[in-house]
Amino acid sequence: MEIIFLLVGLVTLGAAVVTVVTRQLVHAALWLVVALGGVAVEYLLLTAEFIAWVQVLIYVGSVVVLILFGLMLTRAPIGRSPDADSGNRWVALVVSLAAAATLVTVVVDAFRATWIDLEQPVGPGEGSSEVTGMALFRHWVLPFEALSVLLLAALVGAIVLSRRQQAARPGAGGSGAPGKAGGN
């Protein structure tokens, strides 16, 4: 089990690195799907099925679709993008390595004496999806619904802004240039 966990972790890490390094925005979004899917598999291997499916539904499903939708609405370049590289790669590498080292140090120090026995049987209702679902839908249903309405409003706003910019440009219309509609 540990070998599978390590292999999935290496694939996830590789996909995350490719996500950051690639200069094609659509490819970066697709590699992000692989990285987030790898995290969901890691949760499954840790027997946290509910968290794994939340990871798939929210991150892989919603966030990546929103990123791709944003790329389509902003008419981002599909191929290589020259403005995707600012020339500060070495500074970004140093800052990201320092941030990663700090994060690893804090997490290892905080959980140094913590041990979770995955083989220990849990009591009835402890850690089950049923208990989590009851707490989620009893106390947190209104914030989730408010968030869904907010996301829907943002999506409609992005479409409206995109249509206004398209209509403001000369020659941007439904059928192309005047007089050239129809066949030859």
Its domain, for residue 5, covers: 1-80
pTM equals 0.59
SS3 track for 106-154: HHHHHCCCCCCCCCCCCCCCCCCHHHHHHHHHHHCHHHHHHHHHHHHHH
Distance, in Å, from the CA atom of 39 to the CA atom of 45, rounded to the nearest integer, reads 10
- The whole-number pLDDT of residue 70 equals 76
Q: What is the mean pLDDT of the chain?
A: 78
Cα→Cα distances 172→47, 163, 176, Å? 53, 10, 7
Q: Same structural domain for residues 10 and 71?
A: yes
Q: What percent of the chain has pLDDT over 90?
A: 18
Does residue 148 fall inside a structural domain? Answer: yes
CB 175 within 8 A of CB 181: yes
Does residue 100 fall inside a structural domain? Answer: no
Output the six-digit token pair for 159.
């479409």
pLDDT band for 179, please (50, 70, 90 cuts).
very low
pLDDT band for 180, please (50, 70, 90 cuts).
very low
Largest CA distance in the chain: 77
Q: What is the CATH number of the domain that holds 67?
A: 1.20.120.1200
- The whole-number pLDDT of residue 26 equals 81
Structural domains in the chain (count): 2
> In terms of C-beta distances under 8 Å and separation of at least 24 residues, what long-range contacts does 55-60 make, across chains too?
60/33, 60/36
CB 23 within 8 A of CB 80: yes
Does residue 110 fall inside a structural domain? Answer: no
79-137 pLDDT tens trace: 666 666 667 778 888 998 899 999 999 988 888 887 766 666 666 666 667 777 777 77
Does residue 117 fall inside a structural domain? Answer: no
Does residue 164 fall inside a structural domain? Answer: yes
